[in-house]
Chain A
């Protein structure tokens, strides 16, 4: 007879959606109760009103729980070299106390994910991303003197975004935050421990991201929340954030491109140049995974796709619409679209098949199917390629930051 060996970890199946460290606070605020699963964690599509939450981002300050993001820690004397092998940008140029937005590819130069790389100390990095990549990171780390650990569950994350976000930090007593420049990070004391604050975000607005040990999450929330109330700080859900990120022209893995390790159809993968990340590729640095394939594709001109920003006539968002050249030839698909309340423009991110979007940039049309009371309005609207970000806010980069 084999005796059973029960352990607490076995019970996880009872809660397929786990709670983030901020859950008690979010649950208390959630009026819409519009929960969804983000990487297996309970997250909110909206907290009280998606529309109003968007204006918290653009007019006051918004707090968004980013704890479900995958977080990997890379440490050790070989970590810089390892990350330089892994990612597209030159990590040697990333000074300690700085963050950069980067991406990484498989051997064929197809993008696996994008994410932010935080250099916490000369030999200590945190990589934040949508997907899970532990096997890939461990394989890359082989031969480098460094360790890779998954700290997704141990580290809680908050995005504090909006014109008043600095004022909230200041009111919460994070003195010195005013000197943080965009993409800079620093540790601040919190409840006997510390919180890492970086001037980063996904909204194109003034904003910060805060990382703290999971057990200090609630005290951090409370500290920001009570300081933020007079400054009209609001908790927000993903839908509002998504609007802001489209205005800022940011792409989302799994939505605007299919990560190479998830694509079942092998022709759906994308090279960095095909999703607007060509500027990251540093062919002058040491070898990195995918380098040869990317260089070859550029040399041979075999890039197949291109990611563009579109400004579409009319006011109906073009989510999922097909893009046509001259209204006839299929040229691509819209992966994200909104009517931008701040720009008063109908904007979209689209993936086009070259030469559309590269050589042929005129005469593009978007076919929008709008279901209106059981009848589709089929709209064929002209679209113009415009640069991303659609929205550039001076307050995003001003140092010292403004108070609103």
Chain B
């Protein structure tokens, strides 16, 4: 049996990124994944409908191009396709569309307000300015502000210099941005409800906060920081579904000589004398290696897979209080034809993008109120897309995959667990909302996969079903993610690392945590592989 230098617990995209870099650096890496497939929250599978779903994540923008390039993902089949558009249906039978073309976008906004149409430009500029500050931090390990190691001090100075270059106004704008609610932020630019509702989505997705909660403006930034081929803020589809990202990562990893074992859930991390020794699988099989990297979230890793006796109490306390509240659900629907939305004019490409039915921030906030009360909402906030309009590989001709992400779906229902009947009732709220705007919609449905936080936790291992392995609020970012003093992918146990979205810079199919973790592990091994090329200059 070959000796492994590193064992990776979990084959999510970040785990596969870490594994890919380490393997290419010359280490012998084994990935053990509990599911029969790899991918975590970035998978595509046909659940028996004949149509392939992006079962969890469904759109791609954040995934760092440096990683695609370093790990040669295009060679291993990855293609990201840009799409345009987006629309919010309004309750009076109209809609607000979003277009790529600058002037079409302006004219569409001008249908609602001449002022808002022109305000969009300064809004986009201000958000882009904030991105410029934050984006370069993505592909760097966050400095530990109290370590006093030369490297941390240098990194802190680097950030301080960037901050120091700010004018007083910029400084004020940035601090406000990091702490404001998305509703308040949008209010400073726009007067039209439906425009604010459309733009507010990115502030609340995957977050157990409402659009009126402070901190949600920053969440917007997290979703704006991505790019498709240099077009910042643009989103695309992975051809074949989001699983294409992890399939390409897995192919790249195995082509480099790495090994993946699926159906191999880890029960415990083995330690000896306070050092990592390997893992025990749920079957009882022991696999030894001097280094173990966990792609599972921080709670699962340290509260379930590690013996608490091996961890300092303050660390455990922080892990327990890391916020990972489940707040999202998803319906994946197979359709035997493209649904009709009579409100949308013929030929509008806006239907290629994300479509919503929530035409006011107020309605979103009500959805959040339901979540707080431990209910799903009767008026759910749905982010709906039909990627098969552009992707020919996911459904037989004529059939379609519709992805409906639902923000605000509680992990528990008024304190009790979800039942299958609850899940069906939750799904019905979404279907009936779509059917309100699309006659004959129900008749088109040939199959459906419904996911509440219960299913997300069971399948992907996301504690409480939190889609980002921990909320993206400012108190849980940078050197505070996941735990102060342990934001550099190391843990209190020598030889045990974490690389998932629970770490800096956070969730989304981005790969940056995985790459940064690989860089730290290689640093500990005093290795400097040429495969890890410097991050691109951004913006």
Residues of A within 8 A of B (CB): 1-7, 9-14, 16-18, 37, 39-40, 107-108, 132-135, 138, 150, 261-267
Q: Total A-B residue pairs with C-beta atoms closer than 8 Å? A: 92
Chain A nearest CB from B285 CB (Å) reads 54
| Contact partners of B439 in chain A: CB under 8 A | 1
The answer, yes or no, to whether B121 is at the interface (CB within 8 Å) is yes
| Contact partners of A39 in chain B: CB under 8 A | 103
Contact assessment for A9 and B125 in the assembled complex, using a CB-CB cutoff below 8 Å: no
Q: Is the interface of A mostly helix, strand, loop or mixed?
A: loop
| Contact partners of B114 in chain A: CB under 8 A | 134, 150
- Residue-by-residue, is B153-183 near A (CB-CB < 8 Å gives 1, otherwise 0)? 0000000000001110110000000000000
Chain A nearest CB from B363 CB (Å) reads 14
Chain B nearest CB from A282 CB (Å) reads 24
Contact assessment for B99 and A13 in the assembled complex, using a CB-CB cutoff below 8 Å: yes
Contact assessment for B343 and A12 in the assembled complex, using a CB-CB cutoff below 8 Å: no
Please report which residues of chain B, range 411-466, place their CB below 8 angstroms from some CB of chain A when the two chains form the complex: 435-437, 439
Please report which residues of chain B, range 76-93, place their CB below 8 angstroms from some CB of chain A when the two chains form the complex: 89, 91-93
Q: Among B101, B115, B349, B436, point to the contact of A1 (Cβ < 8 A).
A: B436
Contact assessment for A266 and B345 in the assembled complex, using a CB-CB cutoff below 8 Å: no
Contact assessment for B93 and A10 in the assembled complex, using a CB-CB cutoff below 8 Å: no
Contact assessment for B170 and A2 in the assembled complex, using a CB-CB cutoff below 8 Å: no
Contact assessment for A5 and B94 in the assembled complex, using a CB-CB cutoff below 8 Å: yes
Contact assessment for A266 and B170 in the assembled complex, using a CB-CB cutoff below 8 Å: yes
- Residue-by-residue, is B334-348 near A (CB-CB < 8 Å gives 1, otherwise 0)? 000000001101011
Q: How far is the CA of A16 from the CA of B101 in the complex (A)?
A: 7
Contact assessment for A4 and B118 in the assembled complex, using a CB-CB cutoff below 8 Å: no
Contact assessment for B103 and A261 in the assembled complex, using a CB-CB cutoff below 8 Å: no
Contact assessment for B436 and A2 in the assembled complex, using a CB-CB cutoff below 8 Å: yes
Q: Among A7, A16, A108, point to the contact of B104 (Cβ < 8 A).
A: A16
Chain B interface, number of residues (Cβ within 8 angstroms) = 45
Contact assessment for A264 and B128 in the assembled complex, using a CB-CB cutoff below 8 Å: yes
Chain A nearest CB from B101 CB (Å) reads 4
Nearest A residue to B350, CB-CB: A13
Among all A-B residue pairs, the 4 with the closest Cβ atoms: A40-B103, A5-B93, A4-B342, A4-B343
| Contact partners of B347 in chain A: CB under 8 A | 14
Q: How far is the CA of A133 from the CA of B115 in the complex (A)?
A: 9
Chain B nearest CB from A305 CB (Å) reads 16
| Contact partners of A3 in chain B: CB under 8 A | 93, 342
Q: How far is the CA of A391 from the CA of B115 in the complex (A)?
A: 40
Q: Among B91, B99, B165, B167, point to the contact of A108 (Cβ < 8 A).
A: B167
Contact assessment for A264 and B115 in the assembled complex, using a CB-CB cutoff below 8 Å: no
Chain B nearest CB from A387 CB (Å) reads 33
The answer, yes or no, to whether B119 is at the interface (CB within 8 Å) is yes
The answer, yes or no, to whether B111 is at the interface (CB within 8 Å) is yes
Q: How far is the CA of A235 from the CA of B284 in the complex (A)?
A: 85
The answer, yes or no, to whether B132 is at the interface (CB within 8 Å) is yes
Chain B nearest CB from A141 CB (Å) reads 12
Nearest A residue to B435, CB-CB: A1
| Contact partners of B94 in chain A: CB under 8 A | 5, 7, 10
The answer, yes or no, to whether B66 is at the interface (CB within 8 Å) is no
Please report which residues of chain B, range 114-146, place their CB below 8 angstroms from some CB of chain A when the two chains form the complex: 114-115, 117-119, 121-122, 125, 128-129, 132
Q: How far is the CA of A1 from the CA of B432 in the complex (A)?
A: 9
Chain A nearest CB from B441 CB (Å) reads 10
Contact assessment for B539 and A264 in the assembled complex, using a CB-CB cutoff below 8 Å: yes
Question: 7 A-B pairs, CB-CB below 8 angstroms?
Answer: A6-B343, A11-B345, A13-B108, A132-B106, A134-B114, A266-B166, A267-B165
Contact assessment for A132 and B121 in the assembled complex, using a CB-CB cutoff below 8 Å: yes
Q: How far is the CA of A374 from the CA of B430 in the complex (A)?
A: 60
Contact assessment for B125 and A40 in the assembled complex, using a CB-CB cutoff below 8 Å: no
Nearest B residue to A152, CB-CB: B114
| Contact partners of A5 in chain B: CB under 8 A | 92-94, 343
The answer, yes or no, to whether B268 is at the interface (CB within 8 Å) is no
Nearest A residue to B168, CB-CB: A108
Q: How far is the CA of A11 from the CA of B99 in the complex (A)?
A: 13
Contact assessment for B93 and A134 in the assembled complex, using a CB-CB cutoff below 8 Å: no
Chain A nearest CB from B268 CB (Å) reads 50
Contact assessment for A16 and B122 in the assembled complex, using a CB-CB cutoff below 8 Å: no
The answer, yes or no, to whether B526 is at the interface (CB within 8 Å) is no
Q: How far is the CA of A13 from the CA of B351 in the complex (A)?
A: 13
Q: How far is the CA of A320 from the CA of B416 in the complex (A)?
A: 67
Nearest A residue to B349, CB-CB: A13
